[in-house]
Amino acid sequence: MSDKNEELLTAGKMAKELGISDAKVKKAIQSLGLEPVAKKGACNYYGPDALAKIKASQAK
C-alpha cells in the first residue's frame, strides 16, 4: 500500500511555512512549472517536494 498520507499543501499554506507572500509562492509555482498532485474545486494541492523546490528558488 502506497503512502497517501503525505501532507498536501496549498500555495497559501506554503507561503505561511516559508514566511513569504502568497503571490511570491504562486509566481514561483508558475516559473518552476510545478504541477499540482491533486485538485479540489479551485484549490491546487502540492506535495512536500514542491515546497522544497520553492524554498530553494527563494534562496537565490
Domain ranges of the chain: 11-58
Query: What is the rounded distance in angstroms from the CA atom of residue 50 to the CA atom of residue 6?
Result: 13
For range 3-22, the mean pLDDT: 88
> What is the model's pTM?
0.84
For range 9-32, the mean pLDDT: 97
Phi, psi dihedral angles at 44 (to 5 degrees): -105, 140
pLDDT for position 59: 81
